[in-house]
């Protein structure tokens, strides 16, 4: 499979490295409007580079387009790729609204191409293991659930697009949509959402959100996300079940901790801890490997457009609740 | 100084009795209990006198009482103690209805007896440190809070809707609401809640999630669930995260523990070594009587905390946020 990536920012860079680890898959070209990113891509990977997706499509013979541009540009790029008959992998969140997401799903269906979406948390082993344990029934029924994500600080990116609500959807759509997708995958549909955010009350780069969820099966959920810089990025969850607790804390379960001493020697300040938990195959490579297989064999990926749209719906309901101060009931249809 | 205990229906009575026995110059003068068998057993176990009725205990030469009866009995026992001129330390929640709480405030004020609510978490040193951080301006303005007060399902009167006035939500909402009101000098202006019974086959709710708007502009979620398994390694938790404009602080009271891992059952337990907050609470009650000053944790504090729990039940029933007048 011949792959082209559009958008060589944080995710484009990560995906580019992953494609090199996937058999029978070749990263052929990269499109980015920034010349310095194109130069970097050419230097790091043996690829040709273009300013736009259209330029890349007209010059290269590609099977797959990986869309890693900012969220507000997803629809335009997915539709161009689909019209060109290419399978599309789109970074999460799929879209900023249900209508926008539905249009993308429809465009891919109409063109007969496979659409996959990067809800990579489903490929993180701790989350996969939690889902397996819950589904095994060993813990009994889930009563309440809590998730946490953040602490790594506000993301810096092209034109500061994360800071523009109309471009990124803020933290609710960009960050904790991971947890909305994971919880829905594990516990089923969400019925009701009530949410509070510092958005509009405080500096938007320090957004912090608390969400109350009620699932169709009765589970009561509490989702927390923050852009605050608390030293290191972290994730947590707790499933409280009638037969026990299942908990995760990424800071606790880090298998490798390194402390840089040099800065202490030079500045007298303590070094910064950089926790990581290395795996034989990283989750990004796993998600792209799965997608490439699906594209090759014409199968629906685990997280197709419809699945991703359900997560967008929860995030959009939370945004609406934040705005109106009222609980929002999710209507399916 | 002689103090009695009215009812051992609430488990905290045992902890308060321990403190009475530790405090210099204080005599644990006796107990009365609506359950005579329990009362007699406890009296002989703790080495104090058993009185056959609440009336007899109140006739004895005592200065004050600790009321640790079922929530719905707080008002009746408070009225009896106030009529007998005894000072009162009352277990939380203050009552099961606002009407009862207001009546207790009135009767103790008019009788001129001291009335202190039992909110021992104000005496947790980590909590006091958080309050100092706020008072000293280190936290800045408070933006949001997240609290949990998880526990095991306590059984007894706690799961009798009439006697307790609810389940986990009325039991565990009040501690955190009191801390937030006390530390940040704020009131709660709106309550939204999801409440259910999902863990135990009992007549009351056992879990929930409250979302609060505060008058100081901050918001909060509060989880009061009885969601810890029966063999959980400690009784539960009291956790509060505060996001201020200058600092983020987390209080996690039970973390002052050793992890004890053995080959016997239970093979994993926490050995708490933190300070005894009940000691500070009861000591303050005794000091208020000795020094003739008003307790800092008042009936009004009890009423305001109960109001939030009752609003949570109303919100869960109607599916809408409930506004509170302040």
Question: Is residue B69 domain-resident?
Answer: yes
**CA gap B228, B199 in Å, rounded:** 9
Chain segment B78-103, per-residue pLDDT in tens: 999 999 999 999 999 999 999 999 99
Q: Is A324 on the interface with B (CB under 8 A)?
A: no
Q: Name the residue range of residue B163's domain.
A: 122-275+306-323
From B235's Cα to the closest Cα of chain A, the distance in A is: 14
From first to last of its 333 residues, what are the pLDDT tens digits of chain A? 999 999 999 999 999 999 999 999 999 999 999 999 999 999 999 999 999 999 999 999 999 999 999 999 999 999 999 999 999 999 999 999 999 999 999 999 999 999 999 999 999 999 999 999 999 999 999 999 999 999 999 988 899 999 999 999 999 999 999 999 999 999 999 999 999 999 989 988 899 999 999 999 999 999 999 999 998 899 999 999 999 999 999 999 988 888 877 655 555 554 455 556 788 899 999 999 999 999 999 999 999 999 999 999 999 999 999 999 999 999 864
Q: Check if the beta carbon of residue B43 is closer than 8 Å to that of residue B49.
A: yes
- Give B-chain residues touching A221 at CB under 8 angstroms: 209
Smallest Cβ–Cβ distance between B223 and the set A144, A228, A327 belongs to A144
- Is the CB of B243 less than 8 angstroms away from the CB of A210? no
The CA distances from residue B59 to B21, B24, B56, in Å, are: 22, 24, 5
| Residue where one domain finishes, among candidates B113, B148, B183 | B113
DSSP A300: P
- Is the CB of B143 less than 8 angstroms away from the CB of A219? no
- Is the CB of B321 less than 8 angstroms away from the CB of A327? yes
We report the CATH number of the domain holding residue B76 as 3.40.50.720
Chain segment A64-89, per-residue pLDDT in tens: 999 999 999 999 999 999 999 999 99
Q: Check if the beta carbon of residue A28 is closer than 8 Å to that of residue A41.
A: no
- Is the CB of A240 less than 8 angstroms away from the CB of B199? yes
We report the CATH number of the domain holding residue B145 as 3.30.360.10
- Residue A156 has a pLDDT of 85
Q: Check if the beta carbon of residue A1 is closer than 8 Å to that of residue A113.
A: no
Query: Burial level of B12, CB count in 10 A (0-12/13-18/19+)?
Result: middle
Domains of chain A: 2-119+286-304 (3.40.50.720), 122-278+311-329 (3.30.360.10)
* Cα radius of gyration rounded to whole Å, chain A: 20
Chain segment B295-307, per-residue pLDDT in tens: 999 999 999 999 9
DSSP B101: H
- Of the candidates B246, B269, B272, B244, the residue with the CA atom closest to the CA atom of residue B257: B272
Number of domains in chain B: 2
- Residue B283 has a pLDDT of 97
Query: Burial level of B254, CB count in 10 A (0-12/13-18/19+)?
Result: middle
- Is the CB of A222 less than 8 angstroms away from the CB of B207? no
- Biggest distance spanned by C-alpha atoms of chain B: 58
**CA gap B82, B68 in Å, rounded:** 16
Q: What residue has token string 């109607």? A: B318
- Give A-chain residues touching B236 at CB under 8 angstroms: none
Question: Is residue B128 domain-resident?
Answer: yes
- Residue A65 has a pLDDT of 98
- Is the CB of B144 less than 8 angstroms away from the CB of A210? yes
**CA gap A50, A130 in Å, rounded:** 42
| Residues B135, B99 within the same domain | no
Q: Taking CA atoms, what residue in B is nearest to A227?
A: B243
| Residues B135, B258 within the same domain | yes
| Residues B37, B146 within the same domain | no
- Residue A188 has a pLDDT of 97
Mean confidence (pLDDT) of chain B: 97
- Residue B264 has a pLDDT of 83
- Residue A272 has a pLDDT of 52
- Is the CB of B229 less than 8 angstroms away from the CB of A141? no
Average pLDDT on B134-162 reads 97
What tokens does A75 get? 């629809």
- Give A-chain residues touching B150 at CB under 8 angstroms: 240
Q: What residue has token string 């009475």? A: B20
| Residue where one domain finishes, among candidates B88, B113, B138 | B113
pLDDT at residue B222 greater than cutoff 70: yes
What tokens does B277 get? 């907050």
| Residues B145, B62 within the same domain | no
From B114's Cα to the closest Cα of chain A, the distance in A is: 40
**CA gap B129, B123 in Å, rounded:** 10
| Residues B205, B268 within the same domain | yes
Question: Is residue B318 domain-resident?
Answer: yes
pLDDT at residue B27 greater than cutoff 80: yes
DSSP B71: G
H-only helix segments in chain A: 10-19, 35-44, 53-59, 74-83, 98-111, 125-136, 165-168, 170-174, 177-187, 262-267, 283-297, 305-324
Q: Is A192 on the interface with B (CB under 8 A)?
A: yes
**CA gap B237, A54 in Å, rounded:** 57
- Residue A266 has a pLDDT of 57
| Residue where one domain finishes, among candidates B113, B148, B176 | B113
**CA gap B117, A48 in Å, rounded:** 73
- Give B-chain residues touching A327 at CB under 8 angstroms: 192, 319-321
Before A93, cis peptide (omega within 30)? yes
Q: Is B209 on the interface with A (CB under 8 A)?
A: yes
Question: How, if at all, do strands A244-249 and B27-32 pair?
Answer: unpaired
The 10 Å Cβ neighbour count of residue B110 is: 9
Q: Taking CA atoms, what residue in A is nearest to B315?
A: A327
**CA gap B205, A89 in Å, rounded:** 45
Q: How many inter-chain contacts (A to B, CB under 8 Å) are there? A: 90
Question: Is residue B292 domain-resident?
Answer: no
Question: Is residue B130 domain-resident?
Answer: yes
Instruction: Provide φ and ψ at B5, rounded to 5°.
Output: -120, 130
| Residues B152, B215 within the same domain | yes
Question: Is residue B283 domain-resident?
Answer: no
What tokens does B231 get? 């063999």
| Residues B169, B312 within the same domain | yes
| Residues B70, B195 within the same domain | no
**CA gap B116, B105 in Å, rounded:** 10
Query: Which 3 state secondary structure label does DSSP give A205?
Result: helix
pLDDT at residue B32 greater than cutoff 70: yes
| Residues B102, B185 within the same domain | no
CA angle, residues A104, A109, A112, in degrees to nearest 5: 125
Q: Is A71 on the interface with B (CB under 8 A)?
A: no
Question: Is residue B296 domain-resident?
Answer: no
Q: Is B230 on the interface with A (CB under 8 A)?
A: no
| Residues B156, B252 within the same domain | yes
Q: Give the torsion sign (CA, A79, A81, A87, A89).
A: negative
What tokens does A22 get? 């996937």
Q: Report the complex ipTM.
A: 0.94
Instruction: Provide φ and ψ at B158, rounded to 5°.
Output: -60, -25
Q: Check if the beta carbon of residue A53 is closer than 8 Å to that of residue A82.
A: no
- Residue A265 has a pLDDT of 55
| Residues B22, B171 within the same domain | no
Q: Is B143 on the interface with A (CB under 8 A)?
A: yes
Q: Check if the beta carbon of residue A73 is closer than 8 Å to that of residue A57.
A: no
Instruction: Provide φ and ψ at A276, rounded to 5°.
Output: -150, 155
Question: Is residue B288 domain-resident?
Answer: no
Starting at the edge strand that comes first in sequence, how are the strands of the sheet with B2-6 ordered? B27-32, B2-6, B64-67, B87-91, B115-118
- Is the CB of A220 less than 8 angstroms away from the CB of B194? yes
| Residues B182, B312 within the same domain | yes
- Of the candidates A111, A102, A113, A14, the residue with the CA atom closest to the CA atom of residue A64: A113
Q: Give the torsion sign (CA, B270, B274, B276, B277).
A: negative
């Amino acid at each position: 499979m011949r792959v082209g990536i559009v958008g060589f920012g944080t995710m484009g860079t990560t995906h580019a490295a992953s494609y090199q680890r996937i058999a029978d898959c070749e990263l052929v070209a990269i499109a980015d409007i920034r010349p310095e990113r194109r130069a970097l891509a050419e230097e790091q990977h043996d690829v040709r580079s273009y300013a736009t997706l259209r330029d890349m499509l007209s010059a290269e013979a590609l099977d797959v387009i990986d869309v890693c541009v900012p969220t507000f540009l997803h629809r335009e790029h997915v539709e161009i790729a689909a019209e060109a008959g290419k399978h599309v992998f789109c970074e999460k969140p799929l879209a900023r609204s249900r209508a926008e997401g539905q249009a993308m799903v429809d465009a891919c269906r109409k063109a007969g191409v496979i659409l996959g979406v990067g809800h990579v948390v489903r490929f993180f082993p701790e989350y996969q293991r939690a889902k397996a344990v819950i589904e095994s029934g060993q813990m009994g029924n889930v009563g309440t659930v809590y998730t946490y994500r953040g602490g790594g600080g506000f993301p810096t990116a092209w034109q500061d697009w994360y800071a523009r609500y109309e471009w990124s959807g803020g933290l609710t759509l960009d960050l904790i949509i991971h947890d909305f997708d994971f919880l829905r995958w594990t516990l089923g549909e969400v019925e009701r959402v009530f949410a509070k955010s510092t958005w509009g009350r405080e500096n938007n780069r320090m957004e912090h959100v608390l969400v109350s969820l009620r699932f169709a099966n009765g589970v009561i959920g509490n989702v927390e996300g923050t852009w605050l810089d608390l030293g290191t990025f972290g994730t947590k969850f707790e499933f409280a079940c009638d037969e026990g607790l299942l908990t995760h804390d990424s800071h606790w379960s880090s298998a490798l901790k390194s402390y840089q001493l040099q800065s202490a020697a030079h500045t007298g300040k303590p070094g910064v801890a950089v926790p990581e938990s290395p795996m034989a195959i990283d989750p990004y490579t796993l998600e792209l490997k799965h997608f490439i297989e699906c594209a090759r064999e014409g199968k629906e990926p685990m997280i197709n457009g419809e699945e991703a749209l359900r997560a967008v719906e929860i995030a959009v309901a939370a945004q609406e609740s934040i705005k109106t101060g009222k609980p929002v009931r999710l209507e399916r249809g | 100084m002689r103090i009695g205990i009215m009812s051992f229906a609430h488990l905290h009575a045992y902890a308060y009795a321990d403190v009475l026995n530790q405090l210099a110059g204080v005599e644990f003068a006796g107990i009365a209990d609506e359950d005579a068998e329990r009362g007699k057993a406890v009296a002989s176990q703790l080495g104090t006198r058993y009185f056959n009725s609440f009336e007899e205990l109140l006739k004895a030469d005592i200065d004050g009482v600790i009321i640790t009866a079922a929530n719905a009995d707080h008002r009746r026992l408070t009225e009896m103690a106030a009529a007998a001129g005894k000072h009162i330390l009352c277990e939380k929640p203050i009552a099961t209805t606002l009407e009862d709480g207001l009546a207790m405030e009135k009767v103790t004020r008019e009788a001129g007896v001291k009335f202190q609510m039992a909110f021992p978490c104000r005496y947790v040193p980590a909590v006091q440190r958080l309050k100092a951080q706020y008072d000293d301006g280190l936290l800045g303005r408070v933006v949001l809070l997240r609290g949990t007060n998880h526990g095991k399902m306590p059984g007894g009167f706690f799961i009798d809707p009439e006697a307790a006035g609810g389940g986990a939500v009325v039991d565990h909402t009040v501690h955190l609401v009191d801390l937030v009101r006390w530390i940040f000098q704020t009131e709660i202006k709106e309550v939204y809640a999801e409440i259910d019974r999902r863990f135990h086959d009992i007549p009351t709710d056992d879990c929930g999630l409250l979302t609060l708007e505060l008058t100081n502009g901050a918001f909060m979620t509060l989880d009061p669930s009885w969601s810890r398994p029966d063999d959980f390694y400690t009784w539960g938790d009291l956790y509060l995260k505060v996001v201020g404009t200058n600092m983020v602080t987390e209080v996690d009271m039970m973390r002052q523990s050793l992890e004890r891992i053995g080959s016997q059952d239970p093979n994993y337990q926490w050995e708490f070594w933190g300070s005894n907050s009940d000691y500070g609470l009861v000591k303050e009650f005794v000091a208020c009587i000795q020094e003739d000053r008003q307790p800092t944790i008042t009936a009004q504090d009890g009423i305001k905390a109960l109001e939030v729990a009752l609003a949570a039940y109303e919100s869960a029933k109607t599916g809408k946020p409930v506004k509170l007048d302040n």
